[in-house]
């Protein structure tokens, strides 16, 4: 979470890509008033419009609707829930 004067609390979404050689890089980010599926949908569409070709694996927390959105926009991608979120929020 991020706290600024504009909102009490905001979510920071960060998409990190890992290239075949193992190099990691931030490929997109967004700051939004709350965590929701619409922001992830917009980010995925934005990344695709900038040239993202294929997603092999998508790791995320358990935000509702994300697996459905991912299946529509990146049908070959595998989804895995973040193990930290699985362990801490069971």
| Residue 2, in any domain of the structure | no
Look at residue 6 and tell me if it is in a domain: no
The answer on pLDDT for 86 being more than 60 is no
pLDDT in tens, 59-71: 887 777 888 888 8
Establish if 1 belongs to a structural domain: no
3 within a domain of the structure (yes/no): no
- Residue 69 belongs to a domain: yes
- Domain assignment of residue 16, yes or no: yes
Residues whose CB falls within 8 Å of the CB of residue 8, separated by 6 or more in sequence, listed in order: none
Domains: count for the chain: 1
Q: What is the mean pLDDT of residues 71-88?
A: 79
- Characterize 23-62 residue by residue with b for buried, 16 or more Cβ atoms within 10 angstroms of its Cβ, and e for exposed: eeeebbeeebeeeeeebbbebbeebeeeebeebeebebee
Between CA 54 and CA 12 the distance in angstroms is 23
pTM of the model: 0.72
Q: H or E element: which one contains 30?
A: strand 24-32
Boundaries of domain holding 82: 11-88
């Amino acid at each position: 979470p991020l706290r600024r004067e504009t909102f009490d609390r905001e979510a920071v979404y960060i998409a990190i890509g890992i290239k075949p050689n193992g190099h990691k890089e931030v490929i997109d980010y967004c700051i939004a008033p709350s965590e929701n599926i619409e922001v992830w949908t917009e980010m995925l569409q934005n990344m695709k419009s900038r040239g993202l070709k294929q997603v092999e694996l998508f790791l995320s927390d358990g935000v509702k609707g994300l697996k459905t959105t991912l299946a529509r926009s990146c049908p070959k991608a595998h989804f895995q829930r973040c193990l930290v979120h699985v362990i801490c929020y069971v």
